[in-house]
């Protein structure tokens, strides 16, 4: 199995922790000196750089939130003069004011290295033809993946997102071996190909790299079935660096965290208490080497767990379980805590349903009502008929009640009814915010 950076990715734990501590201490001293926001935040917590004597002391440090980034947009968190910044990226701002991230030349080189490890873990190399089917521009995915693929020597097809049929044509014309794409868009592309009489398996893809949105194991298996290949989870977020913070290897038994660059913690999302290894909670990340806009204990809101275990690939770093959702995406329906991933898992287990769904939430007579729109597969739609569709609705509703402990209405809709996305799928429509 390919390991891009043997010295780092197989480093003994004790040596890794020594490296992390040195970088953490340097980071805290640097932001205390150069970033007024962090200096005041550290002072308010009664902490000075000299207080960091062990990795456990990171718990003394304040956390950073997305709101902090919005409040300091765009330059307030810079740790270097503007003349040292080589590039900016930003979030879409769809859930509020945008957040900006800044990169020095060293940051861009570090990002290419981190993502190079990610792509090599899935088999990408000098003989690969790599299609970038995510957006270029202010979104971190396109340019990040592009330069990382160059870093490992692959030939690049810079398709960006858009017309799914065109994506297929480019894959066939250029003999693409690997692709980066959001999981929901991968399903959309496969569906569009089948409508054109093209079997996605005929492409002969060696790997589908997926990121930018949470996805279930069931969705991974569906992508692998459709394309007859392996689908790898790529984790990252723009506030930290972009994609490439952690990744699957070919063993697919957990995402290997690039912990020499990004220090991870798991906290209780309510109390902020640091949780022990193996416990599920919210992921918090500190950027250990980032120069332009370092992040100290950034609250990602992503729910996962960390564990250190041996892997057949030979990597020794800590691994992260698949993200199950976000603490700020949790839906509370009649007192029950519900995550879209729970519903997705139920639907993918039913057999005759497609991996396209949407949750509609309304409030009637002061009570929340959840309706799940579900598409059957093309074959299921033909085979089930009207009576079968009604039976499927009841079966799904019963299973959802058992899993969610709350009643949800289920409405089967014809194939292609639910809007497709070129990026992150819009899974939830919450009308309660409009009332």
In order, the DSSP letters of 374-411 are EEEPHHHHHHHHHHHHHHHHHHHHHHHHHHHSS--EEE
Cα(285)–Cα(263) distance, rounded to whole angstroms? Answer: 6
Q: Are 30 and 38 in contact (CB under 8 A)?
A: no
> Where do the domains of the chain lie, and which CATH numbers do they carry?
1-327 (3.40.50.12780), 331-434 (3.30.300.30)
Counting residues of the chain whose pLDDT is more than 90, the rounded percentage is 65
Query: 74 and 88 in contact (C-beta within 8 Å)?
Result: yes
SS3 176: coil
Query: 230-237 and 242-247: which strand pairing?
Result: antiparallel
pLDDT of the residue at 435: 37
- Per-residue pLDDT at 434: 43
Q: Which residue has the tokens 């250990």?
A: 288
Beta bridge partners of 266: 283
Q: Is the pLDDT of residue 205 over 70?
A: yes
Decide which of 310 and 206 is more confident.
Answer: 206
Alpha-carbon distance 225 to 294, whole Å?
40
Task: Tell me if residue 347 falls in helix, strand or coil.
Answer: helix
- Quick check: 91 and 121 in contact, CB under 8 A? no
Residue with tokens 């996305």: 421
* Residue 199 backbone dihedrals phi, psi, to 5 degrees: -85, 120
Name residue, tokens 């194991």: 217
Partnered with residue 237 across adjacent β-strands are 242
pLDDT for residue 97 is more than 70: no
What digits encode the pLDDT tens for the residues 247-269?
999 999 999 999 999 999 999 99
Q: How many other CB atoms sit within 10 Å of the CB of residue 197? A: 6
Torsion of the alpha carbons at 101, 105, 109 and 111, rounded to the nearest 10: 0
Q: How crowded is residue 7: how many other Cβ atoms within 10 Å of its Cβ? A: 9
- Stretch 355-368: mean pLDDT, rounded? 78
pTM of the model: 0.80
Q: How far is CA 146 from the centre of its chain?
A: 18
Helix, strand or coil, per DSSP, at residue 351: coil
pLDDT tens for residues 33-61? 999 999 999 999 999 999 999 999 999 99
Helix, strand, or coil here: 64?
A: strand
More confident residue, 218 or 96: 218
Per-residue b or e along 244-267, where b marks 16 or more CB atoms closer than 10 Å to that residue's CB: bbbbbbbebebbbbbbbbbbbbbb
| φ, ψ (nearest 5 deg) of residue 238 | -60, -35
Q: Are 355 and 344 in contact (CB under 8 A)?
A: yes
Give which of 75, 68, 90, 219 is closest to 143, Cα–Cα.
90
CB 135 within 8 A of CB 160: yes
Q: Is the pLDDT of residue 142 over 50?
A: yes
346: pLDDT confidence band, cut at 50, 70 and 90? Answer: confident
Q: Which helix (H) or strand (E) holds 166?
A: helix 164-174
* pLDDT score at 401: 86
Pairing of strands 100-103, 325-326: unpaired
Phi/psi at 231 (5° precision): -115, 125
Q: According to the model, what pLDDT value does residue 53 have? A: 97
Q: What is the CA radius of gyration of the chain?
A: 22
Q: Where are the alpha helices (DSSP H) in 286-339?
A: none
Determine phi and psi for 97, rounding to 5 degrees. -60, 145
User: Given this model, what pLDDT does residue 424 score?
Assistant: 67
- What are the structure tokens assigned to 63, written together? 């956390």
Q: What are phi and psi of 34, to 5 degrees?
A: -110, -15
In the block, which residue shows the tokens 């409508």? Answer: 195
Contact 56, 24 (CB under 8 A): no
């Amino acid at each position: 199995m390919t390991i891009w950076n043997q010295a780092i990715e197989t480093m003994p734990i004790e040596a890794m922790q020594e490296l992390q501590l040195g970088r953490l201490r340097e980071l805290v001293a640097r932001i205390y000196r150069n970033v007024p926001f962090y200096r005041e935040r550290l002072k308010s917590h009664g902490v000075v750089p000299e207080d960091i004597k062990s990795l456990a002391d990171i718990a003394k440090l304040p956390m950073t939130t997305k709101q902090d980034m919005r409040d300091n947009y765009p330059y307030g968190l810079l740790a270097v003069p503007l003349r040292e910044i080589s590039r900016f990226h930003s979030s879409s701002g769809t859930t509020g004011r945008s957040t900006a991230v800044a990169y020095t030349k060293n940051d861009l080189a570090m990002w290419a290295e981190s993502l190079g490890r990610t792509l090599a873990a899935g088999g990408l190399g000098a003989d690969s033809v790599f299609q970038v089917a995510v957006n270029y521009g202010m979104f971190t995915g396109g340019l990040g993946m592009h330069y990382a693929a160059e870093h490992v020597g692959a030939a690049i097809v810079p398709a960006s997102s858009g017309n799914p049929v065109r994506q297929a044509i480019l894959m066939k014309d250029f003999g693409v071996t690997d692709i980066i794409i959001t999981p929901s868009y991968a399903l959309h592309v496969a569906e569009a190909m089948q409508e054109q009489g093209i079997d996605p398996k005929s492409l002969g893809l060696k790997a589908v790299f997926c990121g930018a949105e949470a996805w279930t194991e069931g969705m991974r298996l569906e992508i692998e079935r459709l394309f007859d290949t392996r689908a790898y989870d790529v984790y990252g977020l723009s506030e930290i660096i972009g994609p490439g913070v952690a990744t699957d290897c070919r063993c697919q038994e957990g995402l290997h965290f690039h912990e020499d660059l990004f220090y991870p913690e798991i906290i209780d999302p309510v109390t902020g208490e640091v949780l022990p290894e193996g416990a599920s909670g919210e992921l918090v990340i500190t950027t250990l080497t980032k120069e332009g806009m370092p992040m100290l204990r950034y609250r990602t809101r992503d729910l996962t767990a960390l564990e250190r275990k041996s892997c057949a690939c030979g990597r020794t770093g800590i691994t992260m379980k698949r993200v199950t959702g976000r603490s700020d995406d949790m839906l509370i329906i009649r007192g029950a805590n519900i995550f879209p991933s729970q519903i997705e898992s139920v639907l993918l287990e039913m057999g005759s349903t497609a991996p396209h769904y949407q949750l509609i939430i309304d409030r009637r007579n002061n009570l929340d009502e959840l309706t799940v729109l579900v598409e059957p597969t093309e074959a299921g739609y033909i085979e089930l008929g009207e009576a079968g569709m009604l039976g499927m609705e009841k079966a799904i509703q019963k299973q959802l009640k058992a899993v969610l402990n709350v009643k949800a209405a289920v409405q089967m809709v014809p194939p292609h009814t639910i809007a497709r996305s070129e990026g992150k799928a819009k899974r939830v429509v919450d009308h309660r915010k409009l009332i």
